[in-house]
Amino acid sequence: MALDELSRQKVWQVVAAIPCGKVASYGQVAELADLPRQARAVGKMMSQLPKDSRLPWYRVINAQGRISFPFDSEGYQRQRERLESEGIEFSGERINLKHYRWDGLA
């Protein structure tokens, strides 16, 4: 990844723009930040986010509508709690993207 500064800023801007109650996938964020097919780079950046970040990192999930942390991990718990507190409901381990996927613009 080691994306340049400009790219990183774009990614943060996109993440910050995801509205409450909506979610976006890593790939979607990458695309909206003009980094097509760089989903992994986005995931990498997320993993390096400081724990006290104010960004709504938890609104970014994978394209399958699942949280990208092991089910039994603390990260999974933290992310799921925040999403549910915003009114997002889970069907087992998954989120119904038909209802919660953020439409980048339109």
Partner DNA sequence: TCCTTGACGGAGA
Partner DNA sequence: ATCTCCGCCAAGG
* Binding piece for DNA, criterion CB under 7 A, among 6-14, 33-41, 81-89, 96-104: 33-41
Cβ proximity to DNA, 33 vs 39, nearer residue: 39
Query: If binding is defined by CB under 7 A, does position 62 make contact with DNA?
Result: yes
Instruction: Give dist(CA 24, CA 103) in Å, integer.
Output: 8
The CA-to-CA distance between both ends of the chain, in Å, stands at 29
Contact yes or no for 18/59 (Cβ under 8 A): yes
Instruction: Give dist(CA 77, CA 102) in Å, integer.
Output: 22
What is the phi/psi pair of residue 18, to 5°?
Answer: -70, 120
* Binding piece for DNA, criterion CB under 7 A, among 4-12, 36-44, 81-89, 97-105: 36-44
Query: If binding is defined by CB under 7 A, does position 44 make contact with DNA?
Result: yes
Contact yes or no for 11/31 (Cβ under 8 A): no
Query: If binding is defined by CB under 7 A, does position 37 make contact with DNA?
Result: yes
Q: Can you tell me which of 6, 16, 20, 49 binds DNA, judged by CB under 7 A?
A: 49
> Which spans of this chain sit near DNA (rule: CB under 7 A)?
1-2, 25-28, 37-44, 46-47, 49, 57-58, 60, 62-64, 68-69, 75, 79
